[in-house]
Amino acid sequence: MNLQEARVVIVGGSSGIGLATARAAADQGADVVIVSSRQGSIDRALEQLDGNITGRTLDVHDRRAVTTFFAELGPCDHLAYTAGEPLTLTPLAGMDIDKAREFFQVRFFGALTVVSAAAATIRTGGSVTLTSGSARTRPGAGWSLGASISGAVTSLTKALAVELAPLRVNCVEPGIIRSPLWSGMSLDEQQQMFDQQAEAVPLGRVGEVDDVARAFLYAMTQTFSSGASIPVDGGALLA
Ligand SMILES: NC(=O)c1ccc[n+]([C@@H]2O[C@H](COP(=O)([O-])OP(=O)(O)OC[C@H]3O[C@@H](n4cnc5c(N)ncnc54)[C@H](OP(=O)(O)O)[C@@H]3O)[C@@H](O)[C@H]2O)c1
């Protein structure tokens, strides 16, 4: 299967992993729609992209807007969900539990809302790809929320793969990837985390968004995997 003229919708497509996936899908001839909550991010992303790409704003917190959005958008072939707000590590000591609940809103409930609105619009042979994370199986200290959300998304992927079959539903599990997700940390803190990660993983470097985009394209174009989680973590699970 190739992406020539396939319609690919990427929720979270204005930055980081979603933006890299949009670029890679457009390079393969797809008609790409990038979706995120802020018009400014969409505009900045479109300036960096070539090919058949359009941008639309949608805040996944707004369930009614999500339903209307997919009803109006019409049929598509592949849906990728990469939305998430900037992340900082959250040690248990002093954790604000209300903020902790909030962490699930975009990454988990946003994914659930979007798939529930979009599933019926995906053409036969199409796919859904969600975003989990390798913290699910190898969390470090301070990763209780990241690990829990990732575990929830991976389980959601499996359940949806059963319920929505023969639609293929998979997820990608990135390790630490250099992207704007970490903009809540200072540049020095980010670099320290990236250096530690590079030393810790067998492949000896931190991940780049293009590494993860390749996994999203694989999930769209392969034809016989569903309910699968694809690790893109430099071998972190073996370290
Ligand atoms: N980078 C990593 O190391 C890493 C590792 C494991 C898992 N992940 C997961 O991968 C996903 C993507 O990460 P990334 O690194 O690509 O982050 P990113 O560069 O910050 O991109 C996040 C995207 O989500 C969109 N977004 C945020 N809130 C939204 C909302 N309410 N409605 C719609 N769109 C929204 C953002 O655009 P707007 O601001 O315009 O809404 C942006 O396009 C996240 O869920 C993250 O947790 C990342």
pLDDT tens per residue, range 171-212: 999 999 999 999 989 999 999 999 999 999 999 999 999 999
Measured in Å, residue 84 CA sits from the centre of ligand 1 at: 3
- Residue 38 three-state SS: coil
According to CATH, what is the number of the domain 7-238?
3.40.50.720
- CA dist 167 and 170 (Å) reads 10
Q: Measure CA 218 to chain center.
A: 14
Question: Is residue 130 scored above 90 in pLDDT?
Answer: yes
Active-site residue flag, 36: no
C-beta of residue 29 within 8 angstroms of C-beta of residue 2: yes
Residue 87's pLDDT band (cuts 50, 70, 90): confident
One-letter amino acid identity for 46?
L
With a cut of 90, say whether residue 33 has pLDDT above it. Answer: yes
| Residue 210 · residue 24 · CB < 8 Å | yes
Alpha-carbon gap, residue 8 to 150, rounded angstroms: 23
Whole-Å CA distances, 211 to 174, 177, 233, 236: 9, 9, 9, 14
* pLDDT for the residue 9: 98
- Measuring from atom 24 of ligand 1, which residue has the nearest CA? 83
Q: Which of 9, 11, 15 to mutate to test the pocket of ligand 1 (most atoms within 8 A of CB)?
A: 15
